[in-house]
Amino acid sequence: MESYRIMVIDDEKVVGDMARMTLEQEGYTVETFLSAEPALERLKEEKFNVVVTDYKMKGIDGMEVLRIVKELYPETVVIMITAFANLDAAIEALRSDVHDFFPKPVKIKELKASIKRALSKD
């Protein structure tokens, strides 16, 4: 069985660590990044099936990550998480082809379910 590749970008190390641990138990290959710049460099080298990104980060934010990911790989699913959940942010993200939008703290069960739904469309 092909292992799906998931990228997690979040400036809180604990979020990335938790996501990696949980998702690897599900059989996914997971790479985590603390900021968008190195993550986007990595994306130029290799395609990921799902990118989970924080909405608000220093430097390149989640909306810019979404735009670049969709430019490089239109079929890659982007899931956004944020500590600054507000309706405007959610609407902006969902209008921009985000698969899901979760407030922090993310319920890992919901994130796993969202990823499973996204990948079942393949």
Phi, psi of 62 (to 5 degrees): -60, -35
CATH code assigned at 75: 3.40.50.2300
Nearest to 10 by CA among 71, 76, 44, 58: 58
| Residues spanned by the domain of 38 | 5-119
Q: Model confidence over 85-100: pLDDT tens digits?
A: 677 877 787 788 899 9
Domain count, the chain: 1
User: If we measure between CA atoms, which residue out of 32, 74, 30 comes closest to residue 53?
Assistant: 32
| Cis upstream peptide for 103 (omega within 30°) | no
Q: What is the pLDDT of residues 29-54, one digit of tens each?
A: 999 999 999 999 999 999 999 999 99
Tokens of 86: 């507000």
Rounded to whole angstroms, the Cα distance separating 117 from 88 reads 24
Global pTM?
0.93
